[in-house]
């Protein structure tokens, strides 16, 4: 892997943790939250996709686009993603991302990300390996702006309330976001590139983040080293040869909990808790049933293309519903 400020060396991040108060706080929050939840179980061994399925993958890519132009290198690659050169060079870093909000008229109340890398298997019997370290979790609560109106429905889902001390003592989203961007960029090496990962992003609360970043005169930007975006749900539904495609799993729903259970054969205890959801996303993407579909034509998008143009236009019209921070 590339050497840089946030690179993995002997499977650990080299940082003077003890002298960095902000990271001590993050570690304390992570340790506190983790103690209340069971760890994500390891992936079970699953057979690889057969050769016929592999042929179908190529056909699917060709049907979508006979030749995909890599906008970074200006080379034409068939069936590969726009981030292919980074995957090929071992430079891809994943950011399993989730937010919790207090509702449409409240905003983000928790911001969480797990940074990880994946080492591909060397043979058909060798599954991918997910590489994480203890300080690769970012978890912060966010204080909504004055006048925010909390939704009882949102509270019922994640259990975070307006009187929660973690929220009352938290910083605003603008301050938290700057800290988050610094955290992300410090964990990605100079030659590496970040891939934001969010399950079912088109309907989840990532729309809130998009609005805040794109509000006129906004001071918020995506982390500088985060260039690409991946929606696992879209990928597994698009590629019919994917073992997690609905026609293969026969699941009634392809939501995060159902797919996680299918992959790990374990219930997702604590779903809708950001920490649990992020770890579940990581487990799915790093599984043998999914990882071979990551570097495909319709899997990776540039971060600015997280939402379609028509969706962006619609969200711009509704940014007035976002409470302005004081």
Q: What is the pLDDT of residue 131?
A: 94
Model confidence band, residue 91 (pLDDT cutoffs 50, 70, 90): very high
- Answer whether 1's CB lies under 8 Å from 91's CB: yes
DSSP H or E run through 195: strand 193-197
C-alpha–C-alpha distance, residues 284 and 234, integer Å = 13
C-alpha–C-alpha distance, residues 276 and 105, integer Å = 25
Is the confidence at residue 158, as pLDDT, over 80? Answer: yes
Is the confidence at residue 96, as pLDDT, over 90? Answer: yes
320 or 105, greater pLDDT: 105
SS3 state of residue 213: helix
Q: What is the pLDDT of residue 60?
A: 59
Model confidence band, residue 71 (pLDDT cutoffs 50, 70, 90): very low
Q: Which residues pair with 229 in a beta bridge?
A: 196, 301
Nearest by Cα to 11 from 124, 127, 136: 136
C-alpha–C-alpha distance, residues 195 and 82, integer Å = 11
Burial 140-172 (b: 16+ CB within 10 A, else e): bbbbbbeebebeeebbeebebeeeeebbeebee
Q: What is the mean pLDDT of residues 200-222?
A: 75
Phi, psi of 145 (to 5 degrees): -70, 165
User: How many Cβ atoms are within 10 Å of 41's Cβ, its own excluded?
Assistant: 13
Please write the tens of the pLDDT for every residue from 28-56.
433 443 344 444 444 433 233 333 343 44
Model confidence band, residue 326 (pLDDT cutoffs 50, 70, 90): very low
DSSP state, residue 94: E
Q: What is the mean pLDDT of residues 214-242?
A: 91
Superfamily of domain 20-34+53-318: Ribonuclease H-like superfamily/Ribonuclease H (3.30.420.10)
Nearest by Cα to 293 from 48, 113, 40: 48
């Amino acid at each position: 892997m590339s050497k840089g400020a946030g690179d993995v060396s002997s499977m650990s991040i080299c940082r003077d943790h003890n002298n960095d108060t902000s990271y001590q706080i993050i570690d304390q929050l992570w340790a506190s939250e983790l103690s209340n939840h069971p760890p994500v179980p390891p992936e079970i061994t699953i057979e690889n996709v057969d050769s016929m399925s592999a042929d179908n993958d190529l056909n699917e890519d060709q049907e979508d686009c006979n030749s995909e132009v890599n906008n970074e290198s200006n080379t034409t690659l068939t069936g590969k993603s726009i981030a292919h050169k980074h995957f090929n060079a071992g430079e891809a870093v994943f950011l399993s991302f989730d937010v919790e909000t207090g509702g449409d008229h409240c905003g983000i109340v928790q911001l969480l990300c797990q940074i990880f890398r994946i080492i591909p298997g060397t043979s058909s019997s060798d599954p991918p390996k997910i590489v994480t370290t203890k300080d690769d979790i970012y978890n912060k609560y966010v204080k909504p702006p004055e006048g925010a109106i909390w939704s009882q429905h949102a509270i019922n889902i994640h259990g975070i309330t307006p009187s929660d001390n973690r929220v009352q003592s938290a910083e605003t989203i603008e301050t938290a976001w700057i800290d988050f961007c610094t955290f992300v960029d410090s964990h990605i090496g100079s030659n590496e590139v970040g891939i934001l990962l969010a399950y079912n992003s088109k309907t989840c609360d990532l729309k809130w983040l998009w609005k805040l970043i794109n509000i006129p005169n906004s001071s918020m930007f995506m982390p500088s080293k985060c260039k690409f975006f991946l929606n696992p749900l879209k990928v597994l539904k698009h590629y019919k040869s994917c073992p997690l495609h609905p026609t293969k799993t026969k699941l009634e729903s392809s939501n995060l909990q159902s797919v996680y259970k299918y992959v790990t054969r374990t219930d997702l205890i604590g779903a809708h808790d950001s920490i649990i959801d992020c770890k579940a996303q990581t487990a799915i993407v790093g599984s043998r049933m999914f990882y071979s579909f990551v570097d495909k034509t319709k899997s990776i998008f540039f971060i600015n293309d997280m939402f379609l143009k028509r969706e962006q236009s619609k969200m711009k019209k509704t940014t007035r519903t976002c409470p302005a921070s004081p």
